[in-house]
Chains A and B, each alone.
Chain A
Amino acid sequence: GAVVSQHPSRVICKSGTSVKIECRSLDFQATTMFWYRQFPKKSLMLMATSNEGSKATYEQGVEKDKFLINHASLTLSTLTVTSAHPEDSSFYICSAPLAAQETQYFGPGTRLLVL
């Protein structure tokens, strides 16, 4: 099956620094990728849709200047948490569909802890 990877799997950073998370589709091309955030014991919340060749589409309430998304190629999307604060600590997961309206394949997630 299709594989989506994320890097890093875990990151600890100081408040005020920026953190970049990578999402890669390893064996297929993805013109669209999705970024989610998951709080402890809660479900996934869609943050934004990453579009190759155009700007990301952010969900209501998600600060686009805080969470920068760049879809650099057909296999790579990055999420940068700028000027991270402790409340940004969370589990971030990306996904990519093989094709429109098809199965979503999820990355293993990145756990961010901001001290």
Chain B
Amino acid sequence: KQEVTQIPAALSVPEGENLVLNCSFTDSAIYNLQWFRQDPGKGLTSLLLIQSSQREQTSGRLNASLDKSSGRSTLYIAASQPGDSATYLCAVSFNKFYFGSGTKLNVKP
């Protein structure tokens, strides 16, 4: 069974820092990996989708990489802002979606 782990569970940084969130998965047989953002009490917002054949995707200040063979993905956030404060979830897909437990990010002004 696929297991998805996210490290760290929580992260607090001052505004302006570049940061990296980590996601690992146990079964490399995936269709894609997706990073989401969840604000408290809200649903999920898709940030980036990486197909299994791709190595990375970029959107604005966000860059996500995928190393399928080692079962790892990272989400890089450049020049963090207080508005980036949220829980970030990664999920891998192979017929079904499996979610990590998330990294709760707090960016201090």
Contact = CB atoms under 8 A, between A and B. Distances in A.
Contacts of A44: 44, 89, 91, 97, 99
A103 interface: yes
Given A42-B101, A43-B89, A106 B34 contact: no
A95 B34 CA distance: 13
Interface string A59-72: 00000000000000
B93 interface: yes
Given A44-B89, A101-B31, A107 B100 contact: no
A89 interface: no
B43 A104 contact: no
B96 interface: yes
A109 B102 contact: no
A104 B96 contact: no
Interface in B72-109: 89, 91, 93, 96-102
Contacts of B43: 6, 93, 106-109
Given A101-B93, A104-B34, A43 B101 contact: yes
B41 A111 contact: yes
B93 A46 contact: no
A49 interface: yes
Interface of B: 31-32, 34, 36, 41-46, 49, 51, 89, 91, 93, 96-102
23 contacts: A34-B96, A42-B101, A43-B100, A43-B101, A44-B44, A44-B89, A44-B97, A46-B97, A46-B99, A49-B96, A93-B44, A95-B44, A101-B32, A101-B93, A102-B32, A103-B34, A103-B46, A104-B91, A104-B93, A105-B46, A106-B43, A107-B43, A108-B43
